[in-house]
Structure 1
């Protein structure tokens, strides 16, 4: 049961993920300018989400891990003027992120009746994910001390099979350990990630499993080999209710025209 002193108002959360910004403002993936697509997604958020209590940015904020790219991401998202949290993805450099924005890389954030836990699943020099023991300890301590708060756990890499054969090997390789730990804490209501550049939403054993489209290019769902979709970039909104309910949806930048160049440098 939630602590009686906690706020009963729902917590309004927005997730942005996989922006893949470059130091060069003209940087592109498959011909798509990633800063331009992020700007369009941000504009869509501003039109649709008048209230945001927390902005979650769940990895691959940069494509080249440059200081300039993180400064650009921070500048573009600063217009929300809300509490923000970052975690690294496989294209990021966690130390560079921490140098640029140390206050944004906190692992645990309490807001309203909820606790949000950000876990670093990135492996230096690799594409797949792994939660080291220090991250599992952060998780254990955060959940054990939640004091009546419901919990939302976030990482970058997918912890479940999403039906894309090519992306399965680059998911979270110790996902079973994570999911087993979460089973011991019924106050954990949702697990949220990025990495797969597509929407995912299912419930397993009472746990909501959620992934979100990229703010740039999209990967085609249920594809055996690497394949992109011409769907528009997007974001996820969440309403974390004081009774533990999670209300959520994905919206896309409706005014952004996706023009991909398949003859350009690959992803």
Structure 2
């Protein structure tokens, strides 16, 4: 039995689907299983990483787990319960930012999670993606209201990765028992924000353009949308550092998943309806 936390999220839902396709028994941890629908064949159990007392029952009979710790909370209680339950392998969704000389808020939180897993003594795999392609869904409100995406450092390049590829690597880590590995994942292309907006425009069939705004204005905009100030500051600093540079590409997705990573254009076509509901 494999337990999946975050099983309805961008990565977790794909982990669940791939495990089911591989014929595995899958259990999802859910705060309220009665209020959600799950794929056929999934066992959904009540539990919450923030409530350690709910975890022993969820881990009963589980051999491996995919751990995604939302808001960086609850991992310690999960790992304690996992030790007592005799878990044989935990695959942690971490971040490539742990390797940065200046990891910032996000990287520091993931470093803490990785250290907690190491301290637990459980066999581990750390999956370390860079930027998610789905981060660009933050542009949906602007695209829905017009033809302009406003942001900072439009020529900053990243190699964002599709959550389907992150999930594929996590599943291979579980099924192939890739214990002690920590692959860094990227997409197959270095793309600026300007280029990504153009690709989305092609996917939805209407013109879009990127417009540069001052960092102070962008910061206030992100605060208004509920993003934490340390995360915004790290985002802006990261974009500034990448301005005019080419992003590094990792071959890990293809090497581990056994297929090419999805391109940004493939992801944009897959999620086109999210950017333009008229395409549904």
More helix by share: 2
Structure with larger Rg: 2
How would you bin the TM-score normalised by the shorter chain?
0.3 to 0.5
More strand by share: 1
What is the TM-score when the length of structure 2 is the normalising length?
0.37
